[in-house]
Amino acid sequence: MTIDACCQRIQSLLESADLHYGHGASNAEAEALWIVSKQLERSPSETLEHLDSMISGELSQKAFAVAQKRIESRQPLAYLLGEAWLMGVPFDCTTQSIIPRSFIAELIAHESLESWLPADGRVLDLCTGNGSLAVLMALHYPDLQVVASDLSLPALALAARNLDRHHLSDRIELLHGDLWEPIAEQDLRFDLIVCNPPYVNEQSMQALPPEYRAEPREALAGGSDGMDLIREIIRSAGEYLHERGALVLEIGNEYDHFQKAFGHLSPIWMDVSAGDRQVCLIEAEDLRR
């Protein structure tokens, strides 16, 4: 059969099941393309250019087997394939970390943060997880010094794999520790800090579908209002920023909780594909008031 026909059959199979999406693919059509692309050892975008080509019976059967496992396990597809794509860049993906999907990646790829990035600047990816934002930053801005930190040693081990995969191990420094501790130990200051922290409120955590519960809870849960860790981040971020620096913070669907907790701040809300209430930028001057 053609690649297109294979994708359509897998799409129908996925649509017949009670699945949830959002881990690098927004619907059954995108996941079907992802599954077939992996068997062909191509990126999804490359596969789209060859939909009329034929796929072998062996590879199509492997693709259907992955789809069946996706349905039976309710595991995110990225965990089953061991790989995820973010802004067209592939990353190793395991249960050691949440699956890369931050909207901050759009701001990096679209160069929306250039005003806060001097040519020889230094950037911190706080709560780096799998290292995807640090990698994207280093790829898009070769002159920057990039540091990435996380509390989770298993997540940092995965991040190290992704740095090695993209030949960036000598350009990105990985630090282990609880939030600001490793930064304070080295007395580092940054032009920009990007952070996609745990921010899901407890009520939402209780309602998560199996796909999201498969991810490490500590990488998602943000306390009763989702702001527990964000309070610690905002409380001290100004100490680690240069005078004209800024903090870029993803808060997901927690806009109302954020506004209630931080009404004294004047964040710049950044426009991403999910709207203008998912990611904010807070300048150092505002953080120090």
Q: What is the pLDDT of residue 189?
A: 96
Architecture of domain 3-75: Orthogonal Bundle (1.10)
Residue 110 three-state SS? coil
Q: What is the pLDDT of residue 14?
A: 98
How many Å from the N-terminal Cα to the C-terminal Cα in the chain? 63
The answer to whether the CB of 82 falls within 8 A of the CB of 73 is no
Which residues of the chain, if any, have pLDDT below 50?
none
- Residues paired with 123 in a beta bridge: 146, 192
Buried b / exposed e across 172-197, counting CB within 10 Å, b at 16+? bbbbeeebbebbeeeebebbbbbbbb
Give dist(CA 161, CA 76) in Å, integer: 20
Neighbours of 203 (CB within 10 A): 10
| Residue 275 CB coordination number (10 Å) | 12
8 A C-beta contact, residue 176 and residue 186: no
CA distances from 5 to 35, 71, 74, 227 (A): 13, 20, 24, 46
CA separation for the pair 126, 249 (Å, rounded): 10
> In whole angstroms, what is the distance from residue 62 CA to residue 274 CA?
33
Query: Are both 3-75 and 84-287 of the same fold?
Result: no
Burial class (CB within 10 angstroms; exposed 0-12, middle 13-18, buried 19+) of 158: buried
pLDDT score recorded for residue 85: 93
Which pLDDT belongs to residue 289? 81
pLDDT in the model for residue 269? 97
Residues shown for the chain: 289
**pLDDT of amino acid 119:** 86
How many alpha carbons fall within 13 Å on the CB side of residue 39?
22
pLDDT confidence of residue 11: 98
What CATH number has the domain spanning 84-287?
3.40.50.150
pLDDT of residue 237: 97
Domain ranges for the chain: 3-75, 84-287
Can you read off the two tokens belonging to residue 192? 């920009």
61 Cβ contact list (under 8 Å, min separation 6): none
